[in-house]
Amino acid sequence: MEEVNILAEEKPKSITLSDGKEYKLPPIDMTTLANIEKTMGFGLGRLQTKLENETMTTMRSLIHALLKEEQPNLDIDKVGHLITLKEMSSISETISEIMALS
């Protein structure tokens, strides 16, 4: 059985958006999660329901909240314009990995 070091530092992930640039997503810790909630305006406990009812608005808010940690100058509309349907699949996969709270 593989031993897991729970104190190992989580590595940031990155996504490539429609402008061809790679954007870093922060490692998830309690402060990042709290900042995500603050930026999105609702608690993460409501995330699944929001994704079901307001999919694109919620995804854009979540991606904006994550990117804002590393790039505070990006506004939500700019983030939305950088994400085309072409990027949605890989971004959704990366977001799922990041937000997998076990």
Q: Report yes or no on 12 lying in a domain.
A: no
Count of domains in the chain? Answer: 1
Q: Report yes or no on 4 lying in a domain.
A: no
Cβ neighbors of 8 (< 8 A, separation 6 or more) are none
pLDDT of residue 101 exceeding 70, the answer is no
Place 65 in a pLDDT band, splitting at 50, 70 and 90: very high
Average pLDDT score over residue span 31-52: 91
pLDDT above 70 as % of the chain: 85
Q: Which domain holds residue 30?
A: 23-99
Predicted local distance difference test score (pLDDT) of residue 73? 92
pLDDT of residue 48 exceeding 80, the answer is yes
Q: What is the pTM of this model?
A: 0.79
Q: Report yes or no on 14 lying in a domain.
A: no
Q: Report yes or no on 13 lying in a domain.
A: no
What is the full DSSP assignment across 35-66?
A: HHHHHHTS-GGGHHHHHHHSHHHHHHHHHHHH
